[in-house]
Amino acid sequence: MSNKPSYVCGSSDQPLTFQTIGDVFDQVVECWGDREAVVVCHQDIRWTFAELGEAVDAFAAGLLSLDLDPGDRIGIWSPNNIEWLIAQFATAKTGLVLVNINPAYRVSELSYTLGKVGCKSLIMAGNFKTSDYISMMREIGPEIDGGIPGQLELAALPELRSLIVISDEPVNGMFRFRDIAGMAPSDADEQLAARASSSQPDDAINIQFTSGTTGLPKGATLSHFNILNNAFFIGQGMKFDADDRLCMPVPLYHCFGMVGGSLMCLKMGACMVLPSEAYEPQAVLEAISKERCTAVYGVPTMFIAELEHPEFSRYDLSSLRTGIMAGAPCPIEVMKKVISEMNMTEVTIAYGMTETSPVSFQGATDDPLEKRVSTVGRVHPHVQVKVVDKEGKVIPRGQSGELCTRGYSIMMGYWDDEDQTRDAIDPSGWMHTGDLAIIDDEDYCDIVGRVKDMIIRGGENVYPREIEDYLFQHPQIQEVAVFGVPDRKFGEAVAAWVRLDDDASLDADGIRAFCADQIAYYKIPEHIFVVDEFPMTVTGKIQKFKMRKISIEQLG
């Protein structure tokens, strides 16, 4: 056992940049204007940086007509599309705080997140998969149908004034996304210039909702400085440059897509390729092959689905070089196939969390295979990390403890939640991740478990408390405990033990029906056990580890 302390600090010859996203965007458009910036396969869009710049500037100018001041929050609730990208950069140029909302969110989650951060406006898709977004929004605000666009007055969301819908058809009470650019005031250029000059790199620019162990989602608030620098070092970790082309099947609402994807490509002058609205393995293979992508992102389950696709062999993936696999541990056989069959000889592993902008550790393009599957690489430049025991003291290398991170990438805090922020970030500026880690003598980090009770289902973080709080609302449910059980496809599946009222008529199907359209599909328990009693400690605490053991035995 090493006596060396479990502390690492990333060094770099590259200093941190102190710029806003708007400034970087304008510089890239000027520098790389005639180069291809974005390809959106499902929308048949292929734009240069100059064309993207025109669309972003026009939408930003139109937003000025909506009575939105710098620092106001504007939500986006949509799958991957060109509108998402336009909104990401246009809101940054107007000094608005973009609030990322998971496309899988249903009525209760949407209503909570919009209200929590006081969104004044929401950009939304018309529909996506089985979700009718317009109907869900009207369920929250029945007044929308008869309201005046931009002057909405909703009892449930008093601060929300305007809705912008991505739709060809007009919708009562809403602006169409395509019409916003035509609403620009005559002095839009002067207004945008004034906003650009007053915008600061340390300003909040993005809120990403991350579920918490306390139940309801928390709004991790990030600055230009946080995410621009992290985007750059993610790209540097893959040796990215302006000749690279990134296939991005990961969702833009998530840090992986928005920071590691679109913002990284902007910073590097590289082309981003969106294969589909949401993940489809065949669309990914087609995009890589047709667009000659040099990199692709995904969680291990995505790579597995691509490798196992019946038509995998007919796609030419010889252009691939690198990419990022993140979100869950990678089985060694999968990594071997990604390197040999997908030609990703320089694939990197990354680890982080929304609250750290997101990446803290990343593998190198030349790391040995064993390190790529057993660790999450080494610490990122300008980031400090320590591993501590329960008392908060740094432990020796090779021992397991809680991972803590400090540096430029730490969030500004959880929006309007000082208590939760204080719980997460200590007085010395260390972010307590809740993950159990081991740092070895070569500075590689291995994530070995979770201090908290989190379930990772196919790369999505699921917090049992949030689901428990929701299920407790059912009048026939007396007691509920949610935990993860192993799952071949997703790594973990959500399981729930439920104790009902004596005269209850509820069953497992009824519990799932209660969740449908109210919480995201990936949070709905796959395995539901209706039981008479829970295993408890003598002090009356529920013993989830016993429930998990019994459940695994019953599920075989």
Helix, strand, or coil (residue 272): strand
What b/e sequence results for 130-164 when a residue is b if at least 16 CB atoms lie within 10 Å of its CB, and e otherwise? ebebbebbbbbbeebeebebbebebeebeebbbbb
* Residue 87 in domain: no
* Residue 550 in domain: yes
The CATH number linked to 532 is: 3.30.300.30
* Residue 469 in domain: yes
Phi first, then psi, for residue 80 (nearest 5°) are -70, 125
Question: Structure pTM?
Answer: 0.86
**Residue 212's pLDDT is what?**
45
Helix, strand, or coil (residue 499): strand
* Residue 251 in domain: no
Spacing of C-alpha 426 from chain mean position: 24
Domain span holding position 503: 455-555
Domain count, the chain: 1
Provide the 10 A C-beta neighbour count for residue 374.
15
pLDDT tens for the chain, 556 residues long, are 678 999 999 999 999 999 999 999 999 999 999 999 999 999 999 999 999 999 999 999 999 999 999 999 999 999 999 999 999 999 999 999 999 999 989 999 999 999 999 999 999 999 998 889 999 999 999 999 999 999 999 999 999 999 999 999 999 999 999 999 999 999 999 999 999 999 999 999 999 998 643 457 899 999 999 999 999 999 999 999 999 999 999 999 999 999 999 999 999 999 999 999 999 999 999 999 999 999 999 988 899 889 989 999 999 999 999 999 998 777 788 899 999 999 999 999 999 999 999 999 999 999 999 999 889 999 999 999 999 998 999 999 999 899 999 999 999 999 999 999 999 999 999 999 998 899 999 999 998 766 767 788 998 878 787 898 789 889 999 888 899 999 988 999 999 999 898 889 999 999 999 999 999 999 999 999 999 988 875 445 578 888 999 999 999 8
Place of tokens 């995998």: 312
d(CA 331, CA 488): 12
* Residue 531 in domain: yes
List the strands of the sheet with 271-274, edge to edge: 45-48, 36-40, 271-274, 245-247, 295-298, 322-325, 346-352, 359-362, 378-379
Task: Return the closest-CA partner of residue 380 out of 404, 351, 353.
Answer: 351
- R_g of the chain, CA atoms, integer Å: 23
* Residue 544 in domain: yes
* Residue 529 in domain: yes
Spacing of C-alpha 250 from chain mean position: 9
**Residue 539's pLDDT is what?**
43
* Residue 545 in domain: yes
